[in-house]
Amino acid sequence: MFGNYSRGEELLTAAAPIVSVEDLRVRFVTPDATVHAVNGISFTLEAGRVLGILGESGSGKSVTLRALIGLLPPRRSQVEGRVTVAGHEITRLGEAELREVRGTKIAMIFQEPMVALDPVFTIGEQIAETIVRHEGVSWADATRRALELLEIVQIPSAARRLKAYPHEMSGGMRQRAMIALALSCRPAVLLADEPTTALDVTVQIQIIVLLRRLQQELGMAVIFVTHDVGVAVEVSDRLAVMYAGRFVETGPTATVIEHPAHPYTAGLLASTVLGSEPGRRLEAIAGAPPDLSALPPGCAFAPRCRFADDRCRAAPPPEFALAPDHSTRCLRVGAGEIELAAPGLVERASA
């Protein structure tokens, strides 16, 4: 169906992960404070897989994506660690090299397409210009491919919409156009920054189904950021729960949802209707996320956690491996002192 846009077979045969992140840290320095937005995250992602990053607003999810694609402001941000995408070490590339990698190796779908799409050019011109710049084909060939892409993402009357400006399209169609633009040069890795948040529920479902289908048929690796547990369950194979710039729990999506291993994960599940029993009262997580310019010395979630003790407040907890593919940064869960169950929390005495 996708002709030259399919890269799945090529990517899935690669032995090494298509994305490798090692101890990524991002700080924003202002005259008044230093904001510690990302605080030492590491992960790998294989071609054809989807990693969901789940967390509240301000947890560092979007900053992580911008670090992966090299879109952080160089004068105001400090980035440490190593980010490798399709063999390119992003954190060592200059701006000219990054422009070549963006689109061809890694692309991004933004939360609000009206910010990402240029209002003075038609949708077709923006997609065709990207193809011409990266692949050197003629304008006529690029325009034909732009039309094919609009048809792939199921925009009605694609030939007519090719000549439309962003403001002439609905929110759902603009987001589909943004997806088409991101796919225009067949990237190996697709980043999705809460792409359904600004859409109504019906259109959200359509975009999620479309992205999942395209990911499977094109064989891309996808990193999908969301604050919505239901969306995370629908789109991801693997889940990373993020809080105060750290991954506090990672594992297969089904495992994390059915057997949460961090009180924050369990709190998110308890506050959503996902899989809840009829009549069950939803439980909000008490308190608010910490100030990232003044993080506490211990576990950042400790001030909101009903299981926290003095050990939790003394130092950041290490990562505990509960299984080969499931880990948590909770001292008490890692020590076997508490069990967490979705959607409620159950505490048991230490053995």
At residue 38, does pLDDT exceed 80? yes
pTM of the model: 0.90
pLDDT of residue 140: 95
Q: Is the pLDDT of residue 345 over 70?
A: no
Do 57 and 7 share a structural domain?
yes
Whether residues 229 and 318 share a domain: the answer is no
Residue 246 domain flag: no
Same domain, 265 and 320: yes
**Residue 129: domain span:** 3-236
- For residues 207 and 262, state if they share a domain: no
Return the structure tokens found at 125: 């011109």
Structure tokens at 303: 């001030």
Sheet holding 326-328, edge to edge: 106-109, 189-193, 221-226, 50-54, 238-243, 246-252, 326-328, 320-323
Which tops the pLDDT comparison, 344 or 143? 143
Beta bridge partners, 241, equal: 54, 249
Does residue 250 carry a pLDDT above 60?
yes
Q: Give every CB contact of residue 240 below 8 A, 6+ residues apart in sequence.
A: 41, 43, 51, 52, 53, 54, 247, 249, 250
Whether 232 and 273 share a structural domain? no
Per the structure, the count of domains in the chain is 2
The answer to whether residues 194 and 109 belong to one domain is yes
Chain CA centroid to CA 171, Å:
20
12, 157: one domain: yes
12 and 107 housed in the same domain: yes
Average pLDDT over every residue of 74-91: 94
Q: For 156-188, how does the pLDDT look when each residue is reduced to its tens digit (9 = 90+)?
A: 999 999 999 999 999 889 999 999 999 999 999
Do 210 and 261 belong to one domain?
A: no
Is there a domain that residue 298 lies in?
Answer: yes
Could you tell me if 144 and 84 lie in one domain?
A: yes
Q: Is residue 133 part of a domain?
A: yes
Residues 279, 231 share a domain: no
